[in-house]
């Protein structure tokens, strides 16, 4: 089917004249079919006139944040693009969370400057309080794009509330390799379904977060174990090793030994402030290698 034929299925309104529109609480987007326009060609106007008004297989993309006055042209993309609205995608996640009986504590959507990409962290209430290490909450991280540069991506992870003298903020950690994710490319033939997996994730993680933290809190690392992890970090940068070592010492100040959980927290807290995306991904992969994951979580994966 053509983009026009698929527009209604994808949640776009056909405004006519090749324009397709979507709006939600965050902003607005218009896709416009491109057509040829030869204009005046002086001596050759009659010959070129026959080339007018031919549709080409590309779409012009215009976006506008809620509250802005004007749309901006922000890209060109193929008419094979499969549109997924930001809030429509978020709602696909909210519905199965609500069905499990869990409350959404917070959502933190962030958008690129041209409004073509979204990152949203949904933190879910967790009934279990983890002793001595604070509350840990199931989290779903959602990414989406309107220009096809990023696939629709759902990452499973955990969040912790960090309070210091400067701010109060959530630290979210997505398990890129160990605990899996779901993604859907923005191509018409892609048919990934997410609702069942999200509902299962919330249920399994709510039941196992306490065990996840306690198992790692009670798993003490030898000095050689700590050095091996820090050696891996140093391959990404000596200053990163120093920063993580400093956080680790603070977290372990009341004990001569370090636990897997403290090592995980140290790397996660440091990586949450990492500006280099590649380094951030590498640090999160190292943090995952430290963790002991409960069997039921592994079976879910």
pLDDT digits (tens, 9 = 90+) for 27-57: 999 999 988 876 655 555 555 566 677 778 8
At residue 191, the pLDDT reads 47
CB-CB contact of 22 with 28 (8 Å) = yes
Q: What is the pLDDT of residue 175?
A: 63
Give which of 215, 217, 293 is closest to 255, Cα–Cα.
Answer: 217
Q: Residue 142's closest CA among 157, 160, 125?
A: 157
- Mean pLDDT (the chain) is 80
DSSP state letters, 107-132: EEEEE-TTS-EEEEEEEE--SPPPTT
Running along the chain, 301 residues long, what does each successive block of 10 average in pLDDT? 88 93 95 79 57 80 92 92 90 83 86 92 72 66 86 79 70 59 50 59 74 85 91 92 91 82 87 82 84 76 60
Q: What is the pTM of this model?
A: 0.73
Q: CA 37 → CA 2, 42, 75, 105, distances in Å? A: 21, 14, 19, 52
Element (H, E) at 62: strand 55-65
Predicted local distance difference test score (pLDDT) of residue 291: 82
Which pLDDT value is given to residue 53? 73
In the chain, what are the helix, strand and coil shares in percent, each to the nearest 5?
35, 30, 35
Which residues 6+ apart lie within 8 Å of 243 measured at CB?
270
């Amino acid at each position: 089917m053509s983009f026009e034929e698929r527009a209604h299925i994808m949640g776009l309104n056909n405004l006519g004249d090749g324009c397709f529109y979507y709006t939600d609480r965050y902003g607005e987007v218009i896709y416009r079919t491109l057509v040829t326009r030869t204009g005046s060609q002086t001596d050759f106007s009659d010959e070129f006139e026959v080339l007018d008004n031919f549709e080409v297989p590309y779409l012009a993309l215009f976006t506008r944040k809620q509250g802005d006055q004007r749309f901006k042209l922000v890209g060109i993309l193929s008419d094979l693009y499969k549109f997924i609205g930001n809030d429509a995608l978020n709602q696909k996640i909210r519905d199965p969370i609500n069905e499990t009986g869990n409350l959404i504590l917070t959502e933190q959507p962030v958008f690129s400057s041209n409004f073509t990409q979204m990152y949203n962290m949904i933190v879910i209430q967790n009934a279990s309080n983890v002793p001595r290490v604070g509350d840990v909450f199931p989290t779903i991280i959602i990414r989406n794009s309107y220009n096809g540069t990023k696939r629709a991506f759902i990452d499973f992870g955990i969040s912790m509330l960090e309070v210091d003298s400067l701010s109060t903020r959530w630290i979210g950690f997505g398990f890129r390799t160990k605990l899996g994710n779901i993604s859907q490319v923005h191509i018409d033939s892609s048919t990934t379904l997410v609702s069942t997996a999200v509902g299962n994730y919330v249920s399994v993680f709510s039941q196992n977060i306490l065990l996840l933290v306690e198992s790692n809190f009670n798993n003490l690392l030898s000095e050689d174990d700590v050095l091996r992890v820090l050696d891996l970090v140093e391959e990404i940068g000596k200053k990163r090793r120093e920063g993580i070592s400093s956080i680790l010492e603070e977290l372990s100040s009341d004990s001569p030994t370090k636990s897997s959980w403290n090592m995980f927290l140290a790397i996660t807290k440091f990586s949450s402030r990492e500006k280099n995306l590649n380094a951030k991904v590498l640090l999160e992969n190292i943090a995952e290698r430290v963790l002991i994951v409960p069997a039921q979580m592994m079976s879910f994966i």
